[in-house]
Amino acid sequence: CGEPGKRREVIGYVTNLLQGGSLVQCARLGHWVDLIATIVLATVELNIYFDLVTVRDMEATEQQGKLAVIDLVELVIQELQRTEEELESTVSSEQLLQLLDVCHKAVKVAFDFVKQFDDEPGRRAALTPHLGMAARIIGAWMVVEPSKFEGDFLQALPHLVRHLPSHMLGSLLPALDNYHSHAWADTPGLLTKMLELVTAASSEDAAAL
């Protein structure tokens, strides 16, 4: 699975499995090893993705492949949160820890990209959409296990708030709501952007009536 095309093929296969079922079904159908291996591959792709965008723009077809990786990682994390109790009664504790470990590595890649964002002043505008992708992964994970990356999350928030428009911060709302303290409220500009986000959503709902 070392070749990029083969990695994308495997990632697409497991994504289809998850979209048609759940993590629990993957385990029951004997696809657990495939799932773990695919998240490892996705983490490799994430590293490549974030490394590439810091030095050059990506072509449309190239970016589409990377977005599939973001979608997979986000889907796995959301499924983990949705089926956590059922999963605990389906797989062994070792298998669950294995899943958490490979997810941690993927989430850390997203946090590392956020940390280095300010080191690329000449490419900030071009990197903003990719920062939003990192925020999707971070926001999804902080709903599942906020204590694991608590320090990283509080350090990342100022960067995300400073550089992302309010509509790209929506993925963080569930994480903030689930957070065990209100330390995030001290982040400069965060409450203003959250208000902008909620106001825009309310306006869209009203227009749809």
pLDDT tens, per residue, the chain with 209 residues = 556 566 667 777 777 777 777 888 888 888 888 889 889 988 988 998 888 887 777 666 566 667 888 888 999 999 998 888 899 999 999 999 999 999 999 999 999 999 887 776 777 788 888 899 999 999 999 999 888 899 999 999 999 999 999 989 999 988 988 888 888 888 999 989 988 888 877 776 656 65
User: What is the structure's pLDDT at 5?
Assistant: 63
Q: Are 116 and 55 in contact (CB under 8 A)?
A: no
Distance between CA atoms of 69 and 10, rounded to whole angstroms?
Answer: 11
- Farthest-apart Cα atoms in the chain, separation: 51
User: What is the structure's pLDDT at 61?
Assistant: 59
User: What is the structure's pLDDT at 141?
Assistant: 95
User: What is the structure's pLDDT at 133?
Assistant: 92
Instruction: Give this prediction's pTM.
Output: 0.85
Distance between CA atoms of 41 and 43, rounded to whole angstroms?
Answer: 5
User: What is the structure's pLDDT at 138?
Assistant: 96
Distance between CA atoms of 111 and 136, rounded to whole angstroms?
Answer: 11
Distance between CA atoms of 144 and 90, rounded to whole angstroms?
Answer: 18
Spell out the residues 6+ positions from residue 152 whose beta carbon is closer than 8 angstroms to its own.
108, 111
User: What is the structure's pLDDT at 201?
Assistant: 72
